[in-house]
Each structure stands twice: as C-alpha cells, then as structure tokens.
Amino acid sequence: MIPISISPLLKVYSLLYFLLMGLNKQKSLQTFVLIIFWGLLTSPGVALSAPIRIGALLGLTGEHAQTGTAFREGMEIAAEEINQKGGIRGQPLEIIFEDTQYNPLLVATESQKLLKIDRIVGAVIASYSEAMVAGPIFEKAEVPLISLWDSSPELDKLGDYIFGIGVWAPSTSQEAVRFVTEKFKAKTAVTLCTSEEWSLSIENSFSQSFKDNGGKILERFEVGPKELDFRTILLKIKNINPDVLYVSLTDNLPSFWGQYGAIKFEKPTITADVLNQEILNIVGGAAEGVYQTQVADPEFKSTSELQRLYQAKFKKEATQIFLTSLGYDSVNMLAKSAEEHGVDSKKVKEGLYSIKKFPGAAGETTINAQGSAQKMVSMFRVLNGKLMVEGTP
C-alpha cells in the first residue's frame, strides 16, 4: 500500500467528532464515519491501491495439467514474495490465471478476456504452440507476452511485444546432433515425433542438422497426440537398428517410456526437455540411460533455493522444477520491469528489453534485441532414476 500520512487529518476529525457529539449521538457517529471516508478518498497524500494485474495463460486441466500447475506454483511463490515486500510501486500484484487446456480456441478467447476485461499490463503463456496463437493478439494490443517454455526465431518474428525466456529451440537439436556425432560417431538415425507444432519443428531441425553433418535419417515416425500404443513403432525401430533414436514426443510420455523400456532398445536415445522427475517416478527404470537436452540443472544454487521455497509452501518436493523456475522467473522479471520503468504495458515492455544477467531460478537470463533469452541446452542423462548432467560419475 502507498504510505498514508494521517496525523494532520486526525486533529481535524477529532475536533469534528466532539462537536457532533453534542447532537444526536447515533447520527453523529454515522456522520463522523462518512466524513473520515470522504477525507481518505479526497486527501492528496492518500490513495487506495488498485492491484497491478498480469495474466497467465496455462493448461491447468486436461492431460497437460501437471505442466501448467508447475508453472502456476512458481508464479504464486514469486507473487507472494513480491507482495510481502510491498508490491510494485506500493501496489499489490495480482495474477489472473486462465485455463487454456492447451486448446487454441481457448487461448484466443482468454487472451481477449485478459486484455479487454482484466486490463493486464503483461502476461505469460506456457508453450510455443500457444504463443503462436496468442502472440498476434497481444502484439496488436501492445501488451507484453512471455512464452515460458520456449524461445525461437518463429516467436521473435511475432513482434516487439512477444518474449521467450525458455529453451532456445535451435540449440536443442544442434546440441543433440553434436553429441551423437562426437560421442557415438552416429551415421544413421530414426526420429519419432508428435503431430504438434513444437514437436514437428524440433524433429525437423534435428533431421536437417544431422543430414548437414553427413548423417542419414533411415525412417521418420509421426504419431497423433492421443496415441497410447507405441509398441508396433518401437519394434520397427528396433529392427531398423539405427545408430541413434531421436524422440521429440509431447504427449502420453509415461505410456511411451514404459513401452520403450519393455522392448529393451539398446542404442542411444535422445529426447528434448520433456522428461522430468514426475515422469521418471512413474516409469521407474524404463528410461534409465536415456539422454536429454535441457537447460535447468536442479543442483544450481538458485534452483535449489526455489526448491526450498516450494517445499515450505506446498509441503512436497517440486518434481518439475525447471517449469516451476520459469514461472517464478517470469513474474519477477515482469515485476522488475514495472517497478523500474512504470506500470503501463508499454513501460513494462521497455523494462523487459533492459533485462541483462537476471539471476533467475532457471539460470541467468538476458533478453536480447529480438525479445529472446536464448537459453542454450546442455546434455543430461537419466541415472538411477534422476536427470544428471552428462559426465556425472
């Protein structure tokens, strides 16, 4: 709240109160209360603080609800911390959560609601696919929108008000290709993807980069988002016997990795930042030895600190700490921008572009001139049921 200097007012109100007490006591008390309320509203040194609102377009129900919830929990921790410290320029921060269910139609509808009814100064959205729908809407409204999970050249092209603070998509495939060609001398590969924009983009990038490095794609498999039975495809891949399998699936991951473990595929398998501790806990040892490109290291000091805050608030361990970290960082970056530059959407946008070496829970973040953080991935491997930096003994 904005500080209130009330002592001069009290002297006047006290005098009025005693004068009015000489009249009817009940009417005097009512009149006195009205005078105080009017004085608080009209005094130049006093303001009633309206909240500063930011929007969150997340899939909070349906198959991907756990992902959206992980983002939401990080955002809630950040907002609570900010408000405990006095808010933004003395005004409380309020987050308006909207459930997109990862449905493009809902993304568009709820974007308009946040902009026209809730009058937000900025917003976050979960993924690349959703950002491609909402981006043009926010760009036209001149309100900044942060894509949490991704950053990419395609998002950069959406306009000046669209930002990405997650994994730089090209680095995902580039690091995977570098790793398999250097470590395994891989010459052949099979790819498996979902009929979904992000998955298709990542698979295509890997295939092109692998071929550019002299490799050959022996087969490409694409499945629908509702596919649950991967056994036939996995057996075909095993018979093809490539040097490496590249997986960019986005849906029904526990089913896939459980079936993957059952066929005992022995060649190196690489996936892209979709495995997390929650899935590993479900599939047991089925994904043991699988490699994954990702940004966040759960052992980073700032990530570990967020894990501590998470446990204190929710009384459990964060099993998707990278996503929780991105949600947490996004709120803090929006708050920092509003605090330092101003609370209207154009000022918040200017503030986001000024962010350099921001010490976030998901690692250090710098926003470039295109609006991307361009976080580069490293290689991890599932060892004893946990994702560990490749090379960990």
What CATH number does residue 95 fall under? 3.40.50.2300
Report the alpha-carbon distance of residue 163 to residue 370 in Å, rounded.
8
Shared domain check, 151 and 133: yes
CA neighbor of 128 nearest in space, from 231, 211, 205, 186 = 205
- Which amino acid makes up residue 317? E
- Give residue 297's pLDDT: 66
- Give residue 298's pLDDT: 64
Residue 179 lies in a domain: yes
Domain boundary residue among 294, 328, 348?
Answer: 294
CA neighbor of 377 nearest in space, from 367, 357, 362, 356 = 362
- Give residue 13's pLDDT: 41
Domain boundary residue among 294, 313, 348?
Answer: 294
Shared domain check, 231 and 264: yes
Shared domain check, 154 and 62: yes
Shared domain check, 238 and 141: no
- Give residue 83's pLDDT: 97
* Residues 292 and 387: beta-carbon distance below 8 Å: yes
Shared domain check, 174 and 248: yes
Residue 367 lies in a domain: yes
* Residues 178 and 390: beta-carbon distance below 8 Å: no
Report the alpha-carbon distance of residue 318 to residue 297 in Å, rounded.
13
Which element (helix H / strand E) includes 107?
A: helix 104-116
- Give residue 296's pLDDT: 67
Residue 381 lies in a domain: no
Residue 43 lies in a domain: no
Residue 31 lies in a domain: yes
Shared domain check, 288 and 304: no
Shared domain check, 113 and 162: yes
Residue 362 lies in a domain: yes
For the chain, residues with pLDDT lower than 50 are: 1-21, 23, 25, 28, 31-48, 393
Residue 328 lies in a domain: yes
Shared domain check, 152 and 88: yes
Domain boundary residue among 294, 322, 357?
Answer: 294
The answer for residues whose C-beta is within 8 angstroms of residue 68's C-beta and 6 or more apart is 58, 59, 60, 99, 100, 126
Residue 44 lies in a domain: no
Helix %, strand %, coil % for the chain, to 5?
Answer: 50, 20, 35
Shared domain check, 304 and 156: yes
Question: Positive or negative, the Cα torsion across 64, 68, 74, 80?
Answer: negative
Residue-wise pLDDT tens digits, 262-320: 999 999 999 988 888 889 999 999 999 999 998 866 667 889 999 999 999 999 999 88
Q: Domain range for residue 13?
A: 7-37
Shared domain check, 269 and 320: no
- Which amino acid makes up residue 322? F
Shared domain check, 128 and 207: no
| Domain total of the chain | 3
Per the listing, tokens 């979709």 go with: 274
Shared domain check, 284 and 205: yes
